[in-house]
Amino acid sequence: MTDLSRCANEAQPPLLSVVVPVHNEEQCIDTFHGRTRAVLEEMPVRFEIIYVNDGSRDRSLEYLLALRAECSHVGVLDLSRNFGKEVAISAGLDHASGDAVVIIDADLQDPPELIPSLFARWQEGFDNVYAQRLSRAGETAMKRATAHAFYRILSRISEHEIPLDTGDFRLLSRRALIALCALRERHRFMKGLYSWVGFRQIAVPYHREPRTGGRSAWSYWKLWNFSLEGITSFSTLPLRVTSYAGLVVSILAVLYGTFITIRTLVYGNRVAGYPSLLVFILFLGGLQLMSLGIIGEYLGRVFNETKHRPLYIVNSHWPSALSAPPSLSRSGIAPTAAGAAVGWEKR
């Protein structure tokens, strides 16, 4: 039975869960919640807003608990430390009870007013309705250019299609959510995982807005590491490139060796060529170190996966009034399996 047919058989409106990862967003939380709640209250749905506090060092958790005290629709999931945005999103999805789930950031670069458009496409039967950026206001030219290049490079080298200019802002159906939650890999590149699970997907274009307050936690160094995460998670092209590079260098070395042998037989052995020899040694040494580094990136990910650590650890969980108890969750994951995948949870 599909999500839509199940909802049609229910007497009450569908339940929409909104998952919001939060890391040091005290300046945005109140404004974000006000706008999001106003949008959801105008929609023909029951709703819950699940805030995931990802190790914030400011007063974000205090603000979230204050929102929950005055609004029964709010649930708060407090992680034991900062696990990163990708894992924080996964934690929120694990605890979402909705027939459909919206993922959105708290900085208001992604407008909550677009949620009804995402919801309308879900009602048409789409399982993954992603918001595609037409512009990126409030960002430097350098960041826009690197993001533009990254998405296109990743799309070209990935083993399956990943939508261009698309972040985490999207709506997932219940069956897409179940499939996504079944993927428990530690190195998580969510933008690729959303597409990997398949189902019917469609884009809703929008213009991204500047941050309402605070500063982005994404430095260029973190963005670089994030791009490596995406490339190594969804493509083995770097490994193939090193293989091809080694093959080309080997062929050139054989040709050059043949040339040196013939020249020595014809003209004799002259002590010359020290600069070219040094260049060849440095070039081959650099190529070997680069190849070892690429292999090490993949090997490190294999090593981390073999540890079988939980994705995250929950410090405290304050569920919303509409949140399903773990034993009644419709995610299809048994309580024992969920505990093994999620980690220890203190309520």
Is the same domain home to 99 and 164? Answer: yes
Query: Would you say residue 73 lies in a domain?
Result: yes
Residue 53: which pLDDT band, with cuts at 50, 70 and 90?
A: very high
Same domain for 193 and 164: yes
- pLDDT, residue 335, reads 32
Q: Would you say residue 226 lies in a domain?
A: no
Q: Are residues 40 and 88 in the same domain?
A: yes
Least confident span in 3-17, 83-97, 199-213, 216-230? 216-230
8 in a structural domain: no
Q: Give the start-end residues of each E strand in 110-165.
A: 128-136
Show Cβ contacts of residue 238 under 8 Å, excluding neighbours closer than 6 positions.
Answer: 231, 232, 294, 297
pLDDT in tens, 264-301: 667 666 656 655 666 677 677 777 777 777 777 777 77
Q: Count other C-beta atoms under 10 Å from residue 53's C-beta.
A: 26
Q: Are residues 138 and 247 both part of a single domain?
A: no
The answer to whether 111 touches 15, Cβ cutoff 8 Å, is no
The answer to whether 248 and 287 are in contact (CB under 8 A) is no
- Tens of pLDDT along 223-264? 666 666 666 666 666 767 777 777 777 777 767 767 766 776
Q: What is the pLDDT of residue 259?
A: 72
- Min mean pLDDT across 19-28, 48-57, 136-145, 294-303 is at 136-145
Q: What percent of the chain has pLDDT over 70?
A: 66
Bridge partners of 49, per DSSP, are 18, 74
| Residue 232 domain flag | no
Which among 4-8, 39-43, 260-264 has the top mean pLDDT? 39-43
Stretch 318-334: mean pLDDT: 55
Angle made by CA atoms 73, 75, 78, in degrees to the nearest 5: 165
Question: Are 73 and 176 within one domain?
Answer: yes
Looking at the structure, tell me whether residues 318 and 189 fall in a common domain. yes
Residue 113 resides in a domain: yes
In a domain, 4, yes or no: no
Give yes or no for a contact between 108 and 28, defined as CB atoms under 8 angstroms apart.
yes
- pLDDT value for 19: 93
| Of 238, 224, 236, 222, the residue nearest 149 (C-alpha) | 224
Which residues lie across from 170 on neighbouring strands? 103, 130
Mean pLDDT score, 85-93: 88
Residues 53 and 114 both lie in one domain: yes
Q: What is the pLDDT of residue 329?
A: 38
CA atoms within 13 A on the CB side of 221: 0
| Cα(14)–Cα(3) distance, integer angstroms | 9
Q: Are residues 315 and 298 in the same domain?
A: no
pLDDT confidence band for 172 (50 / 70 / 90): very high
pLDDT tens digit sequence for 117-137: 999 998 888 989 988 888 766
Assess whether 45 and 100 both reside in one domain: yes
How many beta carbons lie within 10 A of that of residue 174, not counting itself? 24
Average pLDDT over residues 35-52: 90
User: What is the tally of structural domains in the chain?
Assistant: 2
Give me the mean pLDDT over the 75-85 stretch.
88
pLDDT at 341 over 60: no
Would you place residue 213 in the very low, low, confident or very high pLDDT band (cuts 50, 70, 90)? Answer: low
Q: Could you tell me which residue, 265 or 182, shows the higher pLDDT? A: 182
pLDDT above 80: residue 61: yes
2 inside domain: no
Q: Is 281 domain-assigned?
A: yes
CA distance 222 to 218: 6
Max intra-chain CA distance, the chain: 95
300 shares its domain with 321: no
Residues 76 and 156 in one domain: yes
| pLDDT at residue 279 in the model | 63
Judged against a pLDDT cut of 60, whether residue 325 lies above it is answered with no
Q: What is the CATH number of the domain that holds 210?
A: 3.90.550.10
Q: What is the separation of C-alpha 62 from the centre of its chain, rounded to a whole number of angstroms?
A: 26
When pLDDT is averaged across residues 45-66 and rounded to a whole number, the result is 89
Give the pLDDT score at 271.
58
> Could you tell me if 141 and 290 lie in one domain?
no
Burial of 115 (0-12, 13-18, 19+ CB in 10 A): buried
pLDDT at 228: 64
CA distance from start to end of the chain: 33
Query: Average pLDDT, stretch 196-218?
Result: 74
Predicted pLDDT of residue 334: 32
pLDDT for res 330: 37
The domain of 289 spans 237-306
For the cut 50, the answer to whether the pLDDT of residue 139 exceeds it is yes
- Checking if the pLDDT of 112 tops 70, the result is yes
Collapsing DSSP states into helix, strand and coil, what is residue 18? strand
